[in-house]
Amino acid sequence: MSVQAIRRDYSLSGGNQDAVALDGDRITDRVQEQWWKPKLSRQQMREIMQRRDGPGLWHFGLWFLLLGVSAYLAAISWGTWWAIPAFLVYGTIYTSADSRWHESGHGTPFRTRWLNEAVYAIASFIAIREAYLWRWSHSRHHTHTYFVGRDPEIQVQRPADLVKLLMDFFYLRSGPPEVWRLVRNAFGHPNKEVLDFVPERDLPKMYWSSRVHLAIYAAFAVWSIAIGSFLPMMFVLLPRFYGGWLQQLLSLPQHAGLGEDTFDHRQNTRTIYVNPVFAFLYVNMQYHLEHHAMPMTPFHALPKLHEAVKDQMPPPYTSLWQAYKELIPALIKQATGDPDYRVLRPIPKDPESEAAELPTAAESPGEWVRVGPVEDIEAEDVVRLDFGSRTLAIYHLKGGHFYATDGLCTHEYAYLADGLVIDGVIECPLHNGRFDIATGRALRAPACDHLDTYPVERRGNTLYVRLG
Ligand code: FES
């Protein structure tokens, strides 16, 4: 007897709205604290999170070169049978812009900020992921990975729609709605879902950015019509469709068939070993579990993170084939008789860890309070200071300068002391928002509101901070 599959409500206005406490659109409960985190020393984390320009320049430079060469070969093969493999290669490289969009959206591939932003703007256009909308969407995905009704990026909803998944090997099911969403946003009429996660202040920017995307697509369409050939469109927009197979092959097993509504990425995300060509095109996102556990890790450091934490993770899949051997039956079960079915991953026992000793201070607003010895904060690092119900972040910058700011990010609930100090800037560990440490100024979305700062004084070998 077949069982009627009951569709869960994945809309952002339904589903699991009780999962979090909201103040407007800001999450005020301790979501980040609830997620399982790998046990690593602060020293290890700092080394892994470190930013450099070299690997990003090499990797992204090679990618742009391959894109250009494959475009040239495709162009000269037009009108011959060679055009089929040539455009397939070009389209596959073109669509792998999606992984470049993702990586630069996290702001991690380069140390130099404008390089991240430049790559993000270009890759967003190529991948049909309008920059503002998808930055906010992806922030939500990381806060509430696979929480039904909170995560706007649940690729496989239960019961699984197998036809949709197959069509998306050529972006045929998700692509047209994405283009339609771009059109709506360009005309200033976003749908309810978009309004749920893009804050009002970014709507005008999203509208303008959508118009620029659309104008470029339209120019290529007009060019195609004018010359009576769809060749120009074969280089822009269409490649995302005809070249989409590899992106779908690699991204589908990221989360599909695993758990929903769990605060442990080990139950909802996979790490899969792939060959070096796929790893290059996918920007190392095969280490997807590590990426979710520590989103501040640059792509080139993911293998190192994997080595450091693999004893704490379920075993990685040794090949895409191994992952699909598990995934396909799971999705068929979900689609046919058992919509609640999910794969359970074996979770190793967490290593014993000593609770980190956090400096604390008595609450006495307006008073100078003792933080601790200067040598407790390494250069270019940050520590957390709790007092009463409040938390500060105390920073030690180059040249022996010390600063203090609020310890919680102004975007959502994340401890800045778990983040990374780079050139006088603190980067939030949850969505890579950034703040100027000396002034508290928000520098990078999704962090938009500034931090409060507090005076710090060094007396002999001891630091003091004045509470506001
Ligand atoms: S919590 Fe989102 S940027 Fe900090």
Token pair belonging to 189: 């009429």
What Cα–Cα distance (Å) separates residue 165 from each residue in 126, 157, 244? 21, 10, 12
d(CA 412, ligand 1 centre) in Å? 5
Q: What is the pLDDT of residue 4?
A: 53
21-41 pLDDT, tens per residue? Answer: 555 555 555 566 778 899 998
Contact 38, 32 (CB under 8 A): no
Residue whose Cα lies nearest atom 3 of ligand 1: it is: 433
Mutating to test ligand 1, I would choose from 35, 428, 449, 450 the residue with most ligand atoms within 8 A of its C-beta, which is: 428
Interacting residues of 60 by C-beta distance below 8 A, sequence separation 6+: 100, 109, 119
114 burial class (0-12, 13-18, 19+ CB within 10 angstroms)?
exposed
- Phi and psi at residue 364, to the nearest 5°: -150, 80
Q: Which atom of ligand 1 is nearest to the CA of 409?
A: 4
In angstroms, the CA 259 to CA 154 distance is 11
What Cα–Cα distance (Å) separates residue 421 from each residue in 13, 73, 355, 357, 393? 37, 44, 23, 20, 11
d(CA 409, ligand 1 centre) in Å? 6
d(CA 31, ligand 1 centre) in Å? 11
Number of H helices, E strands in the chain: 18, 13
Interacting residues of 101 by C-beta distance below 8 A, sequence separation 6+: 120, 123, 124, 126, 127, 129, 134
In angstroms, the CA 413 to CA 398 distance is 28
In angstroms, the CA 144 to CA 268 distance is 11
In angstroms, the CA 205 to CA 202 distance is 5
| CA nearest neighbour of 51 among 99, 101, 109 | 109
Contact 302, 119 (CB under 8 A): no
Residue whose Cα lies nearest atom 1 of ligand 1: it is: 412
**How many other β-carbons are positioned within 10 Å of the β-carbon of residue 266?**
22
d(CA 405, ligand 1 centre) in Å? 15
Q: What is the pLDDT of residue 340?
A: 86
Q: What is the pLDDT of residue 3?
A: 47
Q: Which atom of ligand 1 is nearest to the CA of 428?
A: 4
Token pair belonging to 239: 């490649």
Q: Which atom of ligand 1 is nearest to the CA of 413?
A: 1
450 burial class (0-12, 13-18, 19+ CB within 10 angstroms)?
middle
Q: What is the pLDDT of residue 2?
A: 46
d(CA 352, ligand 1 centre) in Å? 29
d(CA 449, ligand 1 centre) in Å? 11
41-98 pLDDT, tens per residue? Answer: 888 998 999 999 999 999 999 999 999 999 999 999 999 999 999 999 999 999 999 9
Taken in order of first residue, the domains within the chain and their CATH numbers are 28-336 (no CATH), 368-466 (2.102.10.10)
Q: Which amino acids bring their CB within 6 angstroms of ligand 1?
A: 139, 409, 411-412, 414, 428, 430-431, 433, 446-447
What is the number of residues in the chain? Answer: 468
d(CA 466, ligand 1 centre) in Å? 25
d(CA 33, ligand 1 centre) in Å? 13
Q: Which atom of ligand 1 is nearest to the CA of 412?
A: 1
Q: What is the pLDDT along the chain (468 residues), one digit of tens a residue?
A: 444 555 678 888 665 555 555 555 555 555 667 788 999 988 899 899 999 999 999 999 999 999 999 999 999 999 999 999 999 999 999 999 999 999 999 999 999 999 999 999 999 999 999 999 999 999 999 988 998 888 999 999 988 899 999 999 999 999 999 999 999 999 999 999 999 899 999 999 999 999 999 999 999 999 999 999 999 999 999 999 999 999 999 999 999 999 998 999 999 999 999 999 999 999 999 999 999 999 999 999 999 999 999 999 999 999 999 999 999 999 999 888 888 899 999 999 877 665 556 566 655 556 888 888 888 888 889 999 887 778 899 999 988 899 999 999 998 888 999 999 998 999 998 888 999 999 999 999 889 899 999 999 988 888 999 887
Handedness of CA 92, 246, 198, 384 (dihedral sign): negative
For 289, the 3-state DSSP assignment is helix
Contact 402, 394 (CB under 8 A): yes
Q: What is the pLDDT of residue 1?
A: 42
Q: Which atom of ligand 1 is nearest to the CA of 416?
A: 4
**How many other β-carbons are positioned within 10 Å of the β-carbon of residue 252?**
20
Q: Which atom of ligand 1 is nearest to the CA of 432?
A: 3
Mutating to test ligand 1, I would choose from 411, 426, 451 the residue with most ligand atoms within 8 A of its C-beta, which is: 411
Query: Which contacts (CB < 8 Å, 24+ apart) does range 150-153 have?
Result: 150/12, 150/15, 150/16, 150/17, 150/19, 150/20, 152/12, 152/193, 152/196, 152/197
Handedness of CA 320, 321, 325, 330 (dihedral sign): positive
